[in-house]
Amino acid sequence: MIAIIRKEAVFRLFLFVTGLTFVFHFSSILPLMPYTIKNNRALRQILWLDFILGGSTALVGILFSEPLTGFLGFSQQFILTVSIITGLYALLALRLALQTVISVRMLRLLILANWIWALISIGLLFFYFKPATIPGKIFLILQVLVVGGLAWFENKQLKHPVS
């Protein structure tokens, strides 16, 4: 029991420190460089995919967090936390996908947030891999790959000012 409490405390501290890093990084870099979007149609498709994958994961996690604890091998609090965070990312992707003119600044925020969530997911993979069931381990691995992949594909749709 004490080991679970320690893991949850370490997880919260990890989220807090990463969140602070995100705020300082976002506030100092985003206004400086004028990026443009390469292909609006491709970007919208990626954003819709981001919304569908993140939104469905969040919805399933929130609605079925209790039965998922045994299936995945995670605590209900862990499942709810990951689901809520994933849901927030999905809503940002949806907001961008629905915009007539996609906000480059908000897109860069989503990309940065996805990269940070991918890094956090790597940490979660190390913290929670051992107690997770096989489906839980698969979920942790897929989360890293999907979130990192979405960040990469979304970033590929930005034309950097230097290039």
For residue range 85-100, what is the model confidence (pLDDT) as tens digits? 999 999 999 999 999 9
Mean pLDDT, the chain, rounded, equals: 86
pLDDT of amino acid 35: 85
For residue range 32-88, what is the model confidence (pLDDT) as tens digits? 568 889 999 999 999 999 999 999 999 999 999 999 999 999 999 999 999 999 999
Task: Identify the residue with better confidence: 100 or 29.
Answer: 100
Q: Is residue 24's pLDDT more than 90?
A: no
Q: What is the pTM of this model?
A: 0.78
pLDDT of amino acid 14: 57
Question: Diameter of the chain by CA atoms?
Answer: 53
Supply 101's token pair. Answer: 């003119």
CA separation, residue 126 to residues 39, 77, 131, 141, 155 (Å): 36, 18, 10, 10, 26
